[in-house]
Structure 1
Amino acid sequence: MRAVAREHYHDRHPFNLRMHQGDLTPDELRRWILNRFHYQRHIPVKDALITAKFGTPELRRMWLRRIEDHDGRAAGEGGIERWLRLGEAAGIDRARLLSGEGVLPGVRLAVDGYVNFCRLHSPLEAVAASLTELSAPDIMRTRIGAFERHYGWIAPEGLAYFRTRETQGRQDGGEALELVLDWARTEDDQERAVAALTFKCEVLWSLLDAVDHGDSKDEP
């Protein structure tokens, strides 16, 4: 599972490489923030679908924390709010982000594919697909450094989402990996778990393909 994340995670995508090297224009960075928000706002949706598959209160309580991490306990809290603040720090109006205007068709297709995967597949596969979180802390550290070095026009408080996900991603990935290792006892289950994580990596890669080749008219 770690090898899949290491070899197929989207930190190797050309768009992410350009972002971390400081080569994106302000319009390109804003286009990524706007389109990635479409993914961010669906994270608690897919986590709700996964939670509904669990048969014990213990598992549901554990996974419910992920929804709270993104939606917050109250208005003005959580990862979605922090992403909105990132957008505002980059000069994108909050109302524009929330409207979904300008989200590219390829991004919508990738996000819908992931949400439906979690809706239709087994708990093992849905949890295994979330294991891109194993790579989240590393890419968050890289991204924070890149934004601080190359994109100083974005206010530091706009990076709060990335800073929070360093810790949350480590916890989420560790919990999900324990479940997958416990559940995937047969060779068939192990192959399905690996395939699920590979699919999720492809979703993130496809999302960046769409952003990288997005029409300039969709830029804020």
Structure 2
Amino acid sequence: MVNTDLLRKLDAAIAEKNLLKHPFYQDWQAGKLSREALQLYAAQYYRHVEAFPKHLRVLAARTEGPLQGLIRENLAEEENPAGPHPKLWRDFAAAVGVGEDDITCCPALPGTQAVVQKFREICGDRPVAEAVAALYAYESQVPEVATTKVDGLKKFYGVTQPEGLAYFEIHEEADKAHRAAWRGWLEEHADGNEEEILKTANEALDALWGALDAVHMAKPTETH
């Protein structure tokens, strides 16, 4: 089974809601973010980064065979003892002036809560094909987003130390493999209601966009 039509529709949805089109990332690329906005982003988005391995673990427990292997490989990278990805994110946060206490004490904005809850629901409760489509919709964008972030951090925001960039530099390459793996599985094995698969992927895309909305639209009094 080759699901070329499904993938075409998924790719069209991803292109339409590509995160690099979001005003927050547009401002990032143009050097227009205030330091406070960057700090708020670092504190808020950590919740998604920290929760992501948990989502993968839950999904892995619901699968078997080659797909479970793909998920466990992804999870092993996330939890690499030499550099767990949540720790690498905290290093980035520190590089823009956000300490551990700032991350812990900063209340989650509604959009931040929503993206964590949405991926938890999708990976825990939705049909497996829908969960994989959602992960593809997310991780397929990460390499280009990561490159843009690294460029902006170096050029505009004074972040040049390796530890401040490591999270993004790792994802520039790692998620190219993840993108190919999710796509390959969907192409050969995705069975189920195509309409529901696309609906779930769009829900994930909307939640990711909403997490950026939350930071972009936050009032100055909400920044840290």
After TM superposition, is the score higher than 0.5? yes
**Larger CA deviation: 130-139 vs 11-20:** 130-139
Q: 1:111-141, CA deviations, whole angstroms, 9 ceiling, x for partnerless residues?
A: 1122112211011000000112222211211
Pair 1:24 & 2:42 matched? no
Alignment of 1:155-166 (within 5 A): 155-166=161-172
User: SS state of the match for residue 42, structure 1?
Assistant: helix
1:197 matched residue in structure 2:
201
Q: 2:154 and 2:84 mapped to 1: Cα distance?
A: 22
2:85 to 58, 75, 79: 79
How many angstroms apart in 2 are the aligned matches of 1:153 and 1:77?
Answer: 19
Match of 2:209, as an amino acid? W
1:175-194 matched pairs, under 5 angstroms = 175-184=181-190, 189-194=193-198
Q: 1:153 and 1:139 mapped to 2: Cα distance?
A: 16
Corresponding position: 1:138 with 2:119? no
Large movers: runs of 4+ above 6 Å: none
2:179 is matched with 173
CA RMSD after TM alignment = 1.8
CA distance in 2, matches of 1:96, 1:71: 23
Partners in 1 of 2:64 and 2:187 — Cα distance? Answer: 18
Q: Which residue of 2 aligns with 1:216?
A: 220
Q: Give the 5 Å matches for 1:26-175.
A: 26-56=35-65, 58-72=66-80, 74=81, 77-97=83-103, 99=104, 101-131=106-136, 132-153=138-159, 155-175=161-181
> Percent identity among equivalent residues?
21
After TM superposition, give the deviation of residue 154 of structure 1 in Å.
Answer: 5.9
- Aligned partners of 2:197, 2:187: CA distance in 1, in Å? 9
Gapped regions of structure 2 (runs ≥ 5)? 1-9
Counterpart of 2:13 in structure 1 is 4
Q: Is the Cα contact below 8 Å between 1:144 and 1:163 reproduced in 2? A: yes
Contact kept? 1:32, 1:211, Cα under 8 Å: yes
- Alpha-carbon distance in 1 for matches of 2:105, 2:134: 25
The letter for the 2-side match of 1:63 is I
| Contact 2:118–2:204 under 8 Å retained in 1 | no
